[in-house]
Amino acid sequence: MLRDLVKEGGLYTVANLLTKGVSLLLIPFYTAYFSPADYGVIDILNLFTLFITAIFSLQLNQGLARYVAEPTLDENQKITFASTAVWFSFFVLLGITLFLYFLPDEFIKRLSSDDLTIDKGTYLLAVLTIFLNGMFYLLGVHLRFLRMSKAFALISFIHAISGIGLILTLVLAFDYGIESIYLSYLLAVPPLLVVQIYLLRHHIKFTFSVTSLKRLLTYSVPLIPAAIATMLMNFADRIYIKRHLDFTDLGIYAMAGKFASIVGLIVAGFTMAIAPLVINKQYESTTKTELSRIFNLYISIGTLGVLGLSLYSKEILTLLTTKEFHGAYEVMPILFLTAYFVGFLMFSLGITLEKKTILTAILVSIFAGLNIALNHFFVPNYGSMGAAVGTCISTAGYYLITFYYSQKYYPFHFNKKLICFISLTHLGLIIGLLFWNPEMSITNFMLKGLIFVAYFSTLVYSKLLDLNLFINYFKGMTKNDNK
């Protein structure tokens, strides 16, 4: 399973980095042409469209994934489930998009702040992306859980390159502002939807089953409040920053989140790959052993990556952004850490396998409430740092508790004492960085490198990071290539 995970997870990670991560290369462009306030508007509109999609998708993407990958269903049953999910989502997403488009004034009022009113044209363009992105994501999930990873990666690559090309063209050649972000989606996504439908032509039919819809909704509906709560848990920080600070502060915070998405994109890539693998191989005797090895790798490589990015966050910002965004370095270590905790989701598949979606809804609602409470108290008193800390605490709590309960349904072995020791050591280093603000110099650059090497050595010495595993894996790849 490890070989399959590296192969498919690598493809999905590359796809994620190409789809969203390549935009990181455009950060110098964004910071040159968009002010922090502009970036704050983009962030709040993205949050709004994500929120609407999370609700009105009815989370059928999760139901689709669960049944398409189910080994006990035959091919015709899977086609019926997929077709029902796709057609039902099509009409629901189209309906909500039209509603938001033709009744814009109240929503614009709610999304704007005292210091800045969002342009109506920008809002309307953002709303139109809801339908397109909702369907694009749903069909992408279908491709993933059919394990058509190469097709998924290629489509993601085309999506990224065409989107970036269109943004650059619209801004540089036609002098568009933030509208270029949404126009690029509207121009790039429709042709890709046609390609997805063509690739899935044997798996989606002009058929609809009420019985299948009931089973899909039974699985997915409990996840709607969970999705709302997840959105609140992930984005309450933005809401409270907009409320208590302004769009400029929100834009700077969003820029920190942009860099933190590096960790999130890598985590998401392997999460996307591991779910269909475990569902398909859940009854095999070696699956839990493989999960244990992968878990150790995630803890070691994940914490190492977070530490490295946190150590050099100031240098990264100085290199890639304008001076107006440099203050983002203060919250970046906390946001990196938050993205790392999200990765525990890939090892929490016991809840999914047992279809305990109500438990998911309860847990995420509790921790979303905690995040709102923490941000309500922290942001007015501690600003953006309070938002980052509050979100990190609630996110870590949710994913760790979810992992705990998942172990009850689908347990695998790991060295609890060693994992706790490494995790506490890592947390201590991240907290220390928040109080250590060295000037950029060769001496401090090398000192940071020594801290990184010392932590890496600790991982190797404790044998949590097994270098022989990599050596043997690449030897196996070499042998296969020679054959």
Q: What is the pLDDT along the chain (483 residues), one digit of tens a residue?
A: 545 544 544 555 555 555 555 566 667 777 777 778 887 888 889 889 988 988 888 888 888 877 876 777 788 888 888 899 999 999 999 999 999 999 898 899 888 876 678 889 999 999 999 999 999 989 988 887 787 878 887 888 788 788 888 888 888 888 888 888 899 989 999 999 999 999 999 888 888 899 888 888 888 877 777 778 877 777 788 888 888 887 888 888 888 888 887 777 677 666 666 666 676 676 677 778 888 888 888 898 889 999 999 999 999 888 888 888 888 889 999 999 999 998 898 888 788 777 777 788 788 889 989 999 999 999 999 999 999 999 999 999 999 999 999 888 888 888 999 999 999 999 999 999 888 877 888 998 999 999 999 999 999 999 888 777 656 655 554 455 444
Q: What is the pLDDT, as a whole number, of residue 477? A: 47
Q: What is the pLDDT, as a whole number, of residue 6? A: 46
Nearest to 329 by CA among 255, 432, 272, 412: 255
Nearest to 250 by CA among 342, 344, 161, 331: 331
Q: What is the pLDDT, as a whole number, of residue 162? A: 86
Burial readout 142-176 (b: 16 or more C-beta within 10 A, e: otherwise): bbbbbbbbebbbbbbbbbbebbbebbeebbeeeeb
How many other C-beta atoms are found inside a 10 Å radius of the C-beta of residue 214?
Answer: 11
Nearest to 184 by CA among 156, 151, 155, 161: 161
pTM: 0.69
Q: What is the pLDDT, as a whole number, of residue 429? A: 94
Q: What is the pLDDT, as a whole number, of residue 271? A: 65
Nearest to 223 by CA among 343, 76, 65, 73: 65
Structure token pair of residue 272 = 């996307």
Structure token pair of residue 80 = 């019926």
Q: What is the pLDDT, as a whole number, of residue 2? A: 46
- Residues paired with 113 in a beta bridge: 116
Burial readout 422-451 (b: 16 or more C-beta within 10 A, e: otherwise): beeebeebbeebeeeeeeeeeeeeeebeeb
